[in-house]
Structure 1
Amino acid sequence: MDEKIKVTTPRYQQIAADVAAKIVEKHYKVGERIYTRSSLASQYGVSAETARRAISILADLRIVETVRGSGVTILSQEAAAQFVKQFRDIKSMSALKTEILQQLDKQMEDGKSLKNNISELMDRVERFKTINPFVPFEAIIQASSHCVGKTLSQVNFWHNTTATVIGIRHLDTLLMSPGPYAFLHEGDTIYFVGDDNSQIRVKEFIEITDLK
């Protein structure tokens, strides 16, 4: 069977990266007041909630500042540049991983090319660690887990495990940087980061069958 894994990035994160790129390219200058949520939603053809989440990312990273009724003000070109670089590195690594998996499905028809790709992936991972030194763990949601059919927010995932979910693989789709309203399903693989004991806490938490 020739399965292909699709790697998707949430729309709000794509919008945040696009706005940050415009700041880096000086389309918007530090101190300049730009969008309101409604105008951002209209420009990108998304809901107001999606626009709000995009702005929230930029505000959390101190790239912009939001003032109720006054729109969004640009704070830092340097912070925008750092975010854009990290966003592109993650997308580049995801694309490379997809390419490797496709080559494995073809039974390593070109062993030399695969070896080079793996070597390149390892090099990129090492470079990425210098920017974001988190090594993700993974766990599978079993049918008996109390998490099945619930969102990360509903199960208070972070509060119960202190681990941050950075990806969820559902069937043949990998969702990067899922928000609190992302659902967990039987058989999903969750990728998360945390301290050295987080892997044990997550395993014990998702194995609970009835959380009271």
Structure 2
Amino acid sequence: MSKFHGAVAIVSGRAKGVGKATYQAFVQQGARVVIADNDELAGKQTEAALNQSEEVALYAWVDIALEEGVEAMVRRAALHCGRVDVLVNWAAVFIMRGIEATVEEWQRIMDVNVMGQALCVKHVVPEMIKVGKGAVVSITSISSSIAQPHCVSYSATKEVIMNMNIFIPLCLAEKIFALMRSLLVPSGPKATRVRS
């Protein structure tokens, strides 16, 4: 039996490229996937590609910076698929700015990269509680710990994500008595370290 047979994974963002490969990997391991992205064209194309042999994918448009949108996306995923077992927080905006970043730029990158991930966790976890277990995977970056020019805004959000996911399991320990995993996957050249 495949590792994720019968499981449902919500992956936020990245309907193409490396994110598309993530969807394909889940499907190959027996999971159904929810493509949660604000790129409607790419999302529907990925949905169609994955559903060629059987219905294993659902595209759900969402702007993860808006709580009502995240809540609606998760509700739709749960109704359509019957459960949610995995959340992969891929979605991010890349605003590469130094100390000259504007208030608007800071607000946008914090809304998506930090608050967006927090909202996805907030609304997906109740569905995991119904199942009795779950896994939250957050894609961070080597930028969180490596100094780079003109990268203050982006790097700051990735460091927040690193710390946020260290504490998620502690918050959920009393709610999910089975295995609850919160993983951090740094992205970048030769970045393979995983914290749990």
Common fold, TM-score beyond 0.5? Answer: no
Task: Indicate the TM-score class for this superposition, using the shorter chain for normalisation.
Answer: under 0.3
- Give the structure, 1 or 2, with the largest relative contact order (CA under 8 Å, sep 6 or more): 1
Instruction: Provide the TM-score with structure 1 as the length reference.
Output: 0.26
